[in-house]
Amino acid sequence: MDFQITGQTRFGGLLGSPVRHSISPMMHNLSFRLLGLDCVYLCFEVTPQKLGQTVSVFRDLGCYGFNLTMPDKKAVMPYLDAISQEAELIGAVNTVVCRDGRLTGYNTDGYGFWESARQEGFQPEGRGMTLLGAGGAAGAIAVQGALDGLSQIHILNRHTRSWEAAERLVSLISRETSCRADLSDLADEGMLAEKIAGSDILVNATPVGMAGRGDDGKPEISGEMPVPADMAFSPDMWVGDVIYHPRRTALLQKAEQEGCRTFNGMKMLLYQGAKAFELWTGQRMPVEEVQKAFFS
Ligand code: NAP
Protein backbone atom coordinates (compact mmCIF):
# COMPACT_ATOMS: atom_id res chain seq x y z
CA MET A 1 0.00 0.00 0.00
CA ASP A 2 2.75 2.43 -0.98
CA PHE A 3 1.54 5.98 -1.41
CA GLN A 4 3.17 8.99 -3.02
CA ILE A 5 1.78 12.44 -3.61
CA THR A 6 2.16 12.99 -7.37
CA GLY A 7 1.55 15.79 -9.83
CA GLN A 8 -1.88 14.21 -10.41
CA THR A 9 -2.98 13.83 -6.78
CA ARG A 10 -6.47 15.25 -6.22
CA PHE A 11 -7.47 16.83 -2.95
CA GLY A 12 -10.50 17.34 -0.78
CA GLY A 13 -11.20 17.34 2.93
CA LEU A 14 -13.17 18.63 5.87
CA LEU A 15 -14.05 22.30 6.38
CA GLY A 16 -15.23 23.55 9.78
CA SER A 17 -14.04 24.71 13.16
CA PRO A 18 -12.84 22.84 15.15
CA VAL A 19 -11.82 19.98 12.83
CA ARG A 20 -8.54 18.61 14.24
CA HIS A 21 -10.25 15.86 16.28
CA SER A 22 -11.98 14.36 13.22
CA ILE A 23 -11.72 10.68 12.29
CA SER A 24 -12.70 11.45 8.65
CA PRO A 25 -9.10 11.88 7.31
CA MET A 26 -8.20 8.40 8.58
CA MET A 27 -11.33 6.82 7.06
CA HIS A 28 -10.98 8.42 3.64
CA ASN A 29 -7.19 8.23 3.26
CA LEU A 30 -7.16 4.52 4.17
CA SER A 31 -9.95 3.94 1.62
CA PHE A 32 -8.06 5.84 -1.13
CA ARG A 33 -4.93 3.74 -0.42
CA LEU A 34 -6.83 0.43 -0.36
CA LEU A 35 -8.50 1.22 -3.70
CA GLY A 36 -5.34 2.70 -5.27
CA LEU A 37 -6.91 6.13 -5.82
CA ASP A 38 -4.53 9.08 -6.20
CA CYS A 39 -6.41 11.35 -3.77
CA VAL A 40 -5.86 12.88 -0.31
CA TYR A 41 -8.25 14.13 2.37
CA LEU A 42 -7.14 16.92 4.73
CA CYS A 43 -8.66 19.01 7.52
CA PHE A 44 -9.05 22.78 7.14
CA GLU A 45 -10.00 25.15 9.96
CA VAL A 46 -12.57 27.38 8.19
CA THR A 47 -15.08 29.64 9.95
CA PRO A 48 -18.20 30.89 8.10
CA GLN A 49 -16.45 34.27 7.51
CA LYS A 50 -13.80 32.58 5.33
CA LEU A 51 -16.08 29.95 3.80
CA GLY A 52 -17.05 31.71 0.55
CA GLN A 53 -13.42 32.45 -0.29
CA THR A 54 -12.33 28.88 0.57
CA VAL A 55 -15.11 27.26 -1.48
CA SER A 56 -14.20 29.43 -4.46
CA VAL A 57 -10.51 28.40 -4.23
CA PHE A 58 -11.44 24.70 -3.84
CA ARG A 59 -13.64 24.97 -6.95
CA ASP A 60 -10.94 26.73 -9.00
CA LEU A 61 -8.23 24.24 -7.96
CA GLY A 62 -10.36 21.27 -9.01
CA CYS A 63 -10.89 19.43 -5.73
CA TYR A 64 -12.98 16.23 -5.89
CA GLY A 65 -15.20 17.59 -3.12
CA PHE A 66 -15.34 18.19 0.61
CA ASN A 67 -17.22 17.63 3.84
CA LEU A 68 -18.57 20.31 6.16
CA THR A 69 -18.97 20.24 9.90
CA MET A 70 -20.11 22.83 12.44
CA PRO A 71 -20.45 25.77 11.99
CA ASP A 72 -20.35 25.57 8.18
CA LYS A 73 -23.16 23.13 7.32
CA LYS A 74 -25.81 25.79 6.68
CA ALA A 75 -23.41 28.61 5.78
CA VAL A 76 -22.11 26.75 2.69
CA MET A 77 -25.48 26.54 0.95
CA PRO A 78 -25.43 29.94 -0.87
CA TYR A 79 -22.05 29.08 -2.49
CA LEU A 80 -23.29 25.90 -4.23
CA ASP A 81 -24.69 25.39 -7.76
CA ALA A 82 -27.16 22.65 -6.80
CA ILE A 83 -28.50 21.06 -3.62
CA SER A 84 -29.98 17.57 -3.28
CA GLN A 85 -33.53 17.02 -2.06
CA GLU A 86 -32.59 15.71 1.40
CA ALA A 87 -30.06 18.53 2.03
CA GLU A 88 -32.61 21.15 0.92
CA LEU A 89 -35.23 19.73 3.32
CA ILE A 90 -32.78 19.28 6.20
CA GLY A 91 -31.44 22.79 5.57
CA ALA A 92 -27.81 21.69 5.93
CA VAL A 93 -25.08 20.23 3.71
CA ASN A 94 -22.34 17.91 4.99
CA THR A 95 -20.91 16.77 1.63
CA VAL A 96 -20.10 18.70 -1.56
CA VAL A 97 -19.17 17.05 -4.85
CA CYS A 98 -17.12 19.08 -7.31
CA ARG A 99 -17.45 17.97 -10.93
CA ASP A 100 -16.26 20.09 -13.89
CA GLY A 101 -16.24 23.15 -11.64
CA ARG A 102 -19.84 22.61 -10.55
CA LEU A 103 -20.59 22.16 -6.83
CA THR A 104 -23.47 19.99 -5.62
CA GLY A 105 -24.40 19.72 -1.93
CA TYR A 106 -25.74 16.60 -0.18
CA ASN A 107 -26.50 15.56 3.39
CA THR A 108 -25.35 12.00 4.18
CA ASP A 109 -25.95 12.10 7.99
CA GLY A 110 -29.48 10.71 7.76
CA TYR A 111 -28.35 8.08 5.23
CA GLY A 112 -25.63 7.04 7.70
CA PHE A 113 -28.17 6.58 10.49
CA TRP A 114 -30.67 4.58 8.41
CA GLU A 115 -27.98 2.41 6.85
CA SER A 116 -26.81 1.49 10.37
CA ALA A 117 -30.44 0.75 11.37
CA ARG A 118 -30.87 -1.50 8.31
CA GLN A 119 -27.71 -3.36 9.31
CA GLU A 120 -29.46 -4.17 12.60
CA GLY A 121 -32.44 -5.52 10.67
CA PHE A 122 -34.71 -2.44 10.88
CA GLN A 123 -36.42 -1.41 7.62
CA PRO A 124 -38.09 2.05 7.89
CA GLU A 125 -40.75 1.52 5.19
CA GLY A 126 -44.24 1.78 6.72
CA ARG A 127 -42.93 1.93 10.33
CA GLY A 128 -43.29 4.48 13.14
CA MET A 129 -40.49 6.26 15.03
CA THR A 130 -40.29 8.20 18.29
CA LEU A 131 -37.43 10.68 17.98
CA LEU A 132 -35.95 12.48 21.00
CA GLY A 133 -34.45 15.88 20.12
CA ALA A 134 -34.86 18.30 17.22
CA GLY A 135 -31.33 19.56 16.53
CA GLY A 136 -29.00 18.89 13.58
CA ALA A 137 -28.75 15.11 13.96
CA ALA A 138 -32.48 14.71 14.64
CA GLY A 139 -33.40 16.79 11.56
CA ALA A 140 -31.25 14.65 9.27
CA ILE A 141 -32.64 11.39 10.75
CA ALA A 142 -36.26 12.60 10.53
CA VAL A 143 -36.06 13.92 6.96
CA GLN A 144 -34.16 10.92 5.55
CA GLY A 145 -36.45 8.54 7.46
CA ALA A 146 -39.52 10.24 5.97
CA LEU A 147 -37.98 10.10 2.46
CA ASP A 148 -37.12 6.41 3.02
CA GLY A 149 -40.75 5.55 3.82
CA LEU A 150 -41.41 5.93 7.57
CA SER A 151 -45.17 6.35 7.97
CA GLN A 152 -45.14 8.23 11.29
CA ILE A 153 -42.63 10.31 13.27
CA HIS A 154 -43.32 11.48 16.83
CA ILE A 155 -40.77 14.14 17.80
CA LEU A 156 -40.30 14.89 21.51
CA ASN A 157 -38.26 17.91 22.46
CA ARG A 158 -37.77 20.24 25.42
CA HIS A 159 -39.97 23.32 25.23
CA THR A 160 -36.86 25.55 25.05
CA ARG A 161 -34.24 26.64 22.51
CA SER A 162 -35.04 24.37 19.56
CA TRP A 163 -38.86 24.20 19.95
CA GLU A 164 -39.54 26.50 16.98
CA ALA A 165 -37.07 24.56 14.84
CA ALA A 166 -38.92 21.39 15.86
CA GLU A 167 -42.25 22.92 14.79
CA ARG A 168 -40.76 23.84 11.41
CA LEU A 169 -39.38 20.31 10.99
CA VAL A 170 -42.76 18.73 11.71
CA SER A 171 -44.64 20.95 9.25
CA LEU A 172 -41.96 20.48 6.57
CA ILE A 173 -42.11 16.67 6.83
CA SER A 174 -45.92 16.67 6.74
CA ARG A 175 -45.94 19.05 3.74
CA GLU A 176 -43.10 17.61 1.64
CA THR A 177 -43.30 13.85 2.29
CA SER A 178 -46.02 11.22 2.72
CA CYS A 179 -44.97 10.67 6.36
CA ARG A 180 -47.11 12.06 9.22
CA ALA A 181 -45.24 13.95 11.93
CA ASP A 182 -46.16 15.46 15.30
CA LEU A 183 -44.40 17.26 18.13
CA SER A 184 -44.77 16.88 21.91
CA ASP A 185 -43.03 18.20 24.99
CA LEU A 186 -40.39 15.75 26.26
CA ALA A 187 -41.33 16.73 29.82
CA ASP A 188 -44.80 15.18 29.38
CA GLU A 189 -44.07 11.63 30.57
CA GLY A 190 -47.56 10.31 29.82
CA MET A 191 -47.33 11.51 26.22
CA LEU A 192 -43.80 10.13 25.89
CA ALA A 193 -44.93 6.68 27.10
CA GLU A 194 -47.89 6.73 24.67
CA LYS A 195 -45.72 7.70 21.67
CA ILE A 196 -43.05 5.09 22.50
CA ALA A 197 -45.69 2.37 22.95
CA GLY A 198 -47.02 3.14 19.45
CA SER A 199 -43.58 3.12 17.73
CA ASP A 200 -41.43 0.47 16.09
CA ILE A 201 -38.21 2.35 16.83
CA LEU A 202 -37.06 4.82 19.52
CA VAL A 203 -34.12 7.09 18.62
CA ASN A 204 -32.19 9.34 20.97
CA ALA A 205 -30.80 12.34 19.05
CA THR A 206 -30.05 14.43 22.15
CA PRO A 207 -26.61 14.51 23.83
CA VAL A 208 -28.11 13.04 27.03
CA GLY A 209 -25.98 10.04 28.04
CA MET A 210 -22.83 11.24 26.28
CA ALA A 211 -19.52 10.82 28.12
CA GLY A 212 -18.08 14.06 29.47
CA ARG A 213 -15.08 15.15 31.48
CA GLY A 214 -15.00 15.19 35.27
CA ASP A 215 -13.56 18.02 37.39
CA ASP A 216 -10.17 16.25 37.19
CA GLY A 217 -10.32 16.29 33.37
CA LYS A 218 -10.69 12.48 33.14
CA PRO A 219 -13.39 10.94 30.91
CA GLU A 220 -16.58 10.34 32.85
CA ILE A 221 -19.36 8.05 31.66
CA SER A 222 -22.80 9.63 32.07
CA GLY A 223 -25.57 7.47 33.54
CA GLU A 224 -28.20 9.97 32.38
CA MET A 225 -31.13 8.85 30.24
CA PRO A 226 -33.42 10.96 28.03
CA VAL A 227 -36.47 8.95 29.27
CA PRO A 228 -37.52 7.97 32.83
CA ALA A 229 -35.65 4.85 34.01
CA ASP A 230 -38.88 2.98 34.84
CA MET A 231 -40.58 3.54 31.46
CA ALA A 232 -41.62 0.22 29.89
CA PHE A 233 -40.24 -0.73 26.44
CA SER A 234 -41.73 -3.45 24.25
CA PRO A 235 -39.11 -6.11 23.39
CA ASP A 236 -40.28 -5.82 19.74
CA MET A 237 -38.93 -2.26 19.54
CA TRP A 238 -35.53 -1.19 18.17
CA VAL A 239 -33.64 1.47 20.13
CA GLY A 240 -30.95 3.56 18.44
CA ASP A 241 -28.68 6.18 20.00
CA VAL A 242 -26.71 8.74 17.95
CA ILE A 243 -24.11 8.81 20.73
CA TYR A 244 -21.02 6.63 20.21
CA HIS A 245 -19.03 7.59 23.31
CA PRO A 246 -19.80 5.60 25.39
CA ARG A 247 -20.67 2.72 23.05
CA ARG A 248 -23.47 1.59 25.36
CA THR A 249 -25.30 4.55 26.85
CA ALA A 250 -27.58 4.07 29.87
CA LEU A 251 -30.53 4.17 27.43
CA LEU A 252 -29.11 1.32 25.34
CA GLN A 253 -28.32 -0.72 28.47
CA LYS A 254 -31.90 -0.33 29.68
CA ALA A 255 -33.26 -1.24 26.21
CA GLU A 256 -31.07 -4.36 26.09
CA GLN A 257 -32.33 -5.42 29.52
CA GLU A 258 -35.89 -5.10 28.22
CA GLY A 259 -35.10 -7.33 25.24
CA CYS A 260 -34.99 -4.60 22.54
CA ARG A 261 -32.55 -4.64 19.61
CA THR A 262 -30.12 -1.74 19.96
CA PHE A 263 -27.43 0.15 18.06
CA ASN A 264 -25.25 3.18 18.82
CA GLY A 265 -24.02 6.10 16.65
CA MET A 266 -20.77 4.47 15.55
CA LYS A 267 -22.05 3.12 12.25
CA MET A 268 -23.93 6.36 11.55
CA LEU A 269 -20.53 8.04 11.56
CA LEU A 270 -19.02 5.30 9.38
CA TYR A 271 -21.82 5.21 6.81
CA GLN A 272 -22.23 8.99 6.42
CA GLY A 273 -18.54 8.94 5.40
CA ALA A 274 -19.01 5.88 3.18
CA LYS A 275 -21.81 7.63 1.28
CA ALA A 276 -19.71 10.79 0.82
CA PHE A 277 -16.80 8.63 -0.47
CA GLU A 278 -19.12 6.97 -2.99
CA LEU A 279 -20.45 10.36 -4.18
CA TRP A 280 -16.87 11.60 -4.79
CA THR A 281 -15.32 8.49 -6.31
CA GLY A 282 -18.19 6.39 -7.68
CA GLN A 283 -16.67 3.50 -5.70
CA ARG A 284 -17.82 1.75 -2.55
CA MET A 285 -15.76 2.55 0.55
CA PRO A 286 -14.08 -0.62 1.91
CA VAL A 287 -16.13 -0.25 5.13
CA GLU A 288 -15.06 -3.58 6.64
CA GLU A 289 -11.37 -2.55 6.63
CA VAL A 290 -12.19 1.00 7.80
CA GLN A 291 -14.34 -0.37 10.61
CA LYS A 292 -11.61 -2.79 11.70
CA ALA A 293 -8.96 -0.05 11.65
CA PHE A 294 -10.80 2.78 13.40
CA PHE A 295 -14.15 1.66 14.86
CA SER A 296 -13.47 -1.56 16.74
P1 NAP B 1 -27.90 20.02 18.52
O2 NAP B 1 -28.15 20.51 17.15
O3 NAP B 1 -27.40 20.94 19.57
O4 NAP B 1 -29.30 19.39 19.06
C5 NAP B 1 -29.40 18.77 20.33
C6 NAP B 1 -30.86 18.42 20.61
O7 NAP B 1 -30.91 17.75 21.88
C8 NAP B 1 -31.78 19.63 20.73
O9 NAP B 1 -33.08 19.27 20.37
C10 NAP B 1 -31.68 19.93 22.22
O11 NAP B 1 -32.78 20.65 22.73
C12 NAP B 1 -31.70 18.52 22.79
N13 NAP B 1 -31.11 18.48 24.14
C14 NAP B 1 -29.89 18.95 24.51
N15 NAP B 1 -29.67 18.72 25.82
C16 NAP B 1 -30.81 18.12 26.29
C17 NAP B 1 -31.21 17.64 27.56
N18 NAP B 1 -30.41 17.73 28.64
N19 NAP B 1 -32.44 17.07 27.68
C20 NAP B 1 -33.26 16.97 26.62
N21 NAP B 1 -32.92 17.41 25.37
C22 NAP B 1 -31.72 17.96 25.21
O23 NAP B 1 -26.90 18.79 18.51
P24 NAP B 1 -26.71 17.67 17.36
O25 NAP B 1 -25.65 18.12 16.41
O26 NAP B 1 -28.04 17.28 16.83
O27 NAP B 1 -26.05 16.49 18.21
C28 NAP B 1 -26.84 15.72 19.11
C29 NAP B 1 -26.05 14.46 19.52
O30 NAP B 1 -25.82 13.67 18.36
C31 NAP B 1 -24.64 14.75 20.10
O32 NAP B 1 -24.42 13.82 21.15
C33 NAP B 1 -23.71 14.47 18.94
O34 NAP B 1 -22.42 14.07 19.36
C35 NAP B 1 -24.45 13.33 18.26
N36 NAP B 1 -24.14 13.18 16.81
C37 NAP B 1 -23.72 11.96 16.37
C38 NAP B 1 -23.46 11.77 15.02
C39 NAP B 1 -22.98 10.41 14.54
O40 NAP B 1 -22.48 10.32 13.41
N41 NAP B 1 -23.13 9.36 15.32
C42 NAP B 1 -23.65 12.82 14.11
C43 NAP B 1 -24.11 14.06 14.60
C44 NAP B 1 -24.35 14.23 15.95
P45 NAP B 1 -32.57 22.17 23.24
O46 NAP B 1 -32.59 23.00 22.02
O47 NAP B 1 -33.72 22.39 24.13
O48 NAP B 1 -31.24 22.23 23.95
Pocket test for ligand 1, best of 73, 94, 242 (most atoms within 8 A of CB): 242
CA max distance for the chain: 63
| End-to-end CA separation in angstroms for the chain | 22
Q: Is the CB of 269 under 6 A from ligand 1?
A: yes
Instruction: State pTM to two decimals.
Output: 0.93
* C-alpha 136 to ligand 1 mean position (Å): 7
- Tens place of pLDDT per residue across the chain (296 aa): 677 899 999 999 999 999 999 999 999 999 999 999 999 999 999 999 999 999 999 999 999 999 999 999 999 999 999 999 999 999 999 999 999 999 999 999 999 999 999 999 999 999 999 999 999 899 999 999 999 999 999 999 999 888 999 999 999 999 999 999 999 999 999 999 999 999 999 999 999 999 876 666 566 667 899 999 999 999 999 999 999 989 999 999 999 999 999 999 999 999 999 999 999 999 999 999 999 999 87
* C-alpha 171 to ligand 1 mean position (Å): 20
Residues 233, 252: contact at Cβ < 8 Å? no
Residue positions annotated with a catalytic role? 73
Residues 195, 184: contact at Cβ < 8 Å? yes
Rounded CA gap, 184 and 192, in Å?
A: 8
Q: Is the CB of 76 under 6 A from ligand 1?
A: no
Q: Is the CB of 206 under 6 A from ligand 1?
A: yes
